[in-house]
Amino acid sequence: MPQPMSPSDTSRDMHECLISVGSNIEPEWHIAQVQKILKEECELIKASRAIRTAPVGLQEQPDFLNAALLVKTSLEREVFRAYLKEVEDRLGRVRGPVKSGPRTMDLDIIAWDGEVVDDGYYQHDYVRQPVDELLSGSGRQLNGRGCPSL
């Protein structure tokens, strides 16, 4: 039976975080770069395969590559969320007036210590498919059916 995601028993509290990854500007390169950054600056446990998906919202843009990453961090959730936004910036993310526009990198926390914290998991196949692949390959499962908004 799959084990729930949980912090490891170490001298300091570690959190497991499932991250949804998306890019449609040089996506192969940017996804490789975010994996490299998270491997060096956190503990990258596992990565899903990337899937190609059509854009949602603004249609006049390239397809996206979407994936999921499982990492461990000693940071608290809101601090880690801010860190992920800073990683997006380092990878050239430009936040414009069109929220669904092209991007070098989009990183969203989907689950924190096994609890779903972003309803995108339930609403979007491009989030759910890579997350479910990662979960099945890691022996983990998510808790809860409803989820709070971030």
Task: Single out the catalytic residue among 9, 49, 108, 145.
Answer: 108
10 Å CB burial of residue 141 (0-12, 13-18, 19+) is middle
Task: Tell me whether residue 103 is one of the annotated catalytic residues.
Answer: yes
Note if 13 is an active site residue. no
Residue 116 and residue 139 in contact, taking contact as beta carbons nearer than 8 Å: no
Structure tokens at 19: 């991250």
Catalytic residue, from 81, 89, 106, 145: name it.
Answer: 106
77 is catalytic: no
Q: Which of 12, 52, 103, 140 is catalytic?
A: 103
Instruction: Based on the residue annotation, tell me whether 106 is a catalytic residue of this protein.
Output: yes
Q: Which of 81, 93, 118, 140 is catalytic?
A: 93
Active site residues: 93, 103, 106, 108
